[in-house]
Amino acid sequence: MGSDHGGYALKEHLKEVLTAKGHEIVDCGTYSTESCDYPDFGEAAARKVATGACERGIVVCTTGIGISMAANKVRGVRCALCSEPLSAEMTRRHNDANMLALGAAMTGTMLAERIVEVFLSTEFEGGRHARRVGKLDAITG
């Protein structure tokens, strides 16, 4: 998990919820509400996923936009910004997204909990979608 100051409170809330459900959390920061830069924490969390140190990642900033852009710069990361559970389900089923971005100012805690639950419990369908994910992963700058 990673967040900037705008996503700190939601990240901390989700950490508690996920830990209580038995998930192991690697917190890549930030560790306070002091102003900071979202690319630092989006990249740090994405690198954990890209290297295989973590199976999936969750990043949070005020809107979710900037931190998802930062995460998606890391090769091998497919980070989806989701604001409701159906998007979280479909990005796992069809895109094999390995990271989820949330906007703390856009998503309340109960909705964020449900989005995360769906994201973590939905499996990739494979099949024709695997070919498309392969093409996504082959795109380079």
pLDDT in tens, 96-138: 999 999 999 999 999 999 999 999 999 999 999 999 999 999 9
**Active-site residue (options: 13, 23, 94, 129):** 94
The CB-side HSE value for 3 (13 A sphere, CA atoms) comes to 26
Q: In degrees to the nearest 10, what's the CA dihedral of 130, 136, 140, 141?
A: 180
Is 61 one of the catalytic residues? Answer: yes
Is 13 one of the catalytic residues? Answer: no
Q: What pLDDT is attached to residue 140? A: 86
Contact present, 66 and 38 (Cβ < 8 Å): yes
Buried b (16+ CB within 10 A) or exposed e, 30-69: beeeeebebbbbbbbbbbbbbeeebebbbbbbbbbebbbb
pTM exceeding 0.85: yes
Domains and CATH numbers, the chain: 2-129 (3.40.1400.10)
Q: Is the pLDDT of residue 76 over 90?
A: yes
